[in-house]
């Protein structure tokens, strides 16, 4: 599947980003607090191949994938942690837009990604305060990768292919 290839590349880049965040942690100071907890809205998964995605939903999917790519490509340097936190906030906003446009469809996938992003955000904040290790960030990135891949697969089955395939 095209989405699987994209997320395999994203996972490699995300691991590199985690290492960059840890390396930059010493030079970083301030953190932001824009977390969100997963909402318990719709209870159905709605990820069957028979479901057809709207153009707006596919555009939101493409925007989310672009934001995930930005998150995976954090550059090394003094502001890397702040940039990662800003990218996380952007990914969460794009996921919120996609969730709203989906009207309850893909809820199990979007809720799983929201949860994984919250876990990653907590790990990144902990790295910036010195109370977390790279292993925790890698584990959290693995959760984001898995959840994002599951959402991408469901979106692909519904007819949405991202521009980053």
Query: Mean pLDDT for the chain?
Result: 74
CATH numbers and ranges of domains, the chain: 2-22+52-157 (1.20.120)
pTM of full prediction above 0.75: no
Across the range 73-82, mean pLDDT stands at 78
Per-residue pLDDT at 47 exceeds 50? no
Across the range 115-128, mean pLDDT stands at 91
- By CB atoms closer than 10 A (0-12, 13-18, 19+), residue 123 is buried
């Amino acid at each position: 599947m095209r989405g699987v290839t994209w997320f395999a590349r994203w996972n490699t880049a995300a691991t590199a980003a985690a290492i960059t965040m840890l390396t930059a942690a010493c030079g970083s100071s301030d953190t932001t607090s824009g977390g969100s907890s997963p909402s318990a809205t719709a209870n159905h998964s709605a990820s069957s191949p028979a479901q057809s995605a709207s153009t707006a939903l596919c555009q939101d999917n493409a925007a989310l994938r672009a934001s995930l790519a930005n998150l995976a490509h954090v550059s090394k340097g003094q502001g890397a942690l702040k940039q990662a936190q800003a990218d996380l906030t952007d990914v969460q906003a794009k996921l919120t837009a996609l969730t709203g446009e989906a009207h309850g469809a893909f809820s199990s996938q979007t809720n799983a990604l929201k949860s994984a992003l919250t876990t990653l955000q907590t790990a990144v904040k902990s790295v910036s305060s010195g109370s977390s290790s790279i292993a925790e960030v890698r584990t959290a990135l693995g959760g984001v990768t898995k959840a994002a891949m599951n959402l991408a697969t469901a979106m692909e089955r519904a007819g949405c292919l991202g521009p980053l395939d």
